[in-house]
Each structure stands twice: as structure tokens, then as C-alpha cells.
Copies of this chain bind each other. A is one copy, B any other.
Amino acid sequence: MKTNISTEFVLLGALLQRPKHGYEILQFLESALGSTWQVSTSQLYVLVKRLEREGLLESTMESQDNRPSKRVFSLTPAGRKTFLEWVHSPTEHVRELRVELLAKLFFFRHFAMKGGTELVDAQIKTLKEIRQGLLKKKDKEQDGFERLVFGIKAMTIDTWLQWLRQEAKPFMRKVHSNE
């Protein structure tokens, strides 16, 4: 499984609590994550088939009265492990934050899982390290355009750090208090 394809992790997450069939996964993602995440109908069926081939999902056919049969997918132990590892890990690249980190925080809230605060802390630590490396490079840089690029990169990181401290962390504490 390619680690940069986060849609697949989201699909695993959709099945964490109970098995679902394809159409049900679509509805779940549409209503719960629709503003952040969009998976097309056709892409979903391709992805679940791939995940099953990779051993992260398994499926059974269920026939229904008055309805077309449906294929119900459930997480295998490997699939569960893969999802849980993903959801607890901070993202390594700033460009992945908007998509990946938000999805992770969503799952922490949705499943009222423990570890959300730790994820936020780990992400803060990771970002601080990226910021350090960036500032070192910026100091050496002479070219005006390159310094401009460093400028927006550093500001972007600072914005995320501020958001993580001021908004994401309180949000995670609220999740915990619901348990």
C-alpha cells in the first residue's frame, strides 16, 4: 500500500466500527466529511476492490428482498492496524496537513478515540522541526525570490502551529470529555 494515498486510509476508517457496503461508505463520507473530502462513486468501488486485494478489507455478498444484492466490506486485523497507525501519526509534510491531519482529527472526534491530544502534540513537534530546518536555509539564502518563498513557508507553518494550539487542542479535549 502506497503511504501517500490517504483516501484509502479514510475508507478503512469508515469501517472501523462496523462493516458497510460501498453505497453506505459513500453516504458516510458525504455526510460526515463531505466538505473536506470527496470520493467519486466509481473511484470508491475501485479502491475497496484494491484494499481487498491487499488484504486490508474482506467482503461478503448479501442478497436482499426488493433491492439489488450488496457487497459488505469489513476490516481485517491488518486493515485495522494500518488505520490505527495512520490515524495516530503526524504528517511529515506541510502540504499534507490540510487533507490528512483534518481527516485524522475528524476520526478522533467521530469515534471518541483516545490519543487525539497526543497527535496534536506530535504534530506540533514535527512542525517545529520543519520550521527549524527552514529558518537555517533562509538565513543562508541570498536570492530575493527564494527568501520570499521561505517567507510564506515559515508563515504557513506558524499559522498551523497557532491553530493546533488554539483550536485543535481544545477541540481534542472536548472529545475526551465525552468519553
Contacts and interface: CB of A to CB of B under 8 A. Distances in A.
Interface of A: 35-36, 95, 98, 102, 105-106, 109-110, 144-146, 148-149, 151-152, 155-156, 158-160, 162-163, 167-168, 171, 174
A171 B151 CA distance: 12
B174 A144 contact: yes
Q: Is the interface of A mostly helix, strand, loop or mixed?
A: helix
Contact of A109 (B102, B106, B145, B171): B145
A162 B155 contact: yes
Nearest to A168: B148
Contact of A146 (B35, B156, B160): B35
Contacts of A148: 102, 105, 167-168, 171
B155 A106 contact: no
Contacts of A162: 155
A141 B114 CA distance: 26
Contact of A149 (B102, B110, B174): B102
Contacts of A146: 35
A162 B159 CA distance: 11
A147 to B, nearest CB: 9
9 contacts: A35-B149, A98-B152, A98-B156, A102-B152, A106-B145, A110-B145, A144-B171, A144-B174, A152-B160
Contact of A163 (B35, B102, B105, B151): B151
A155 B159 contact: yes
Nearest to A144: B171
Contacts of A106: 145
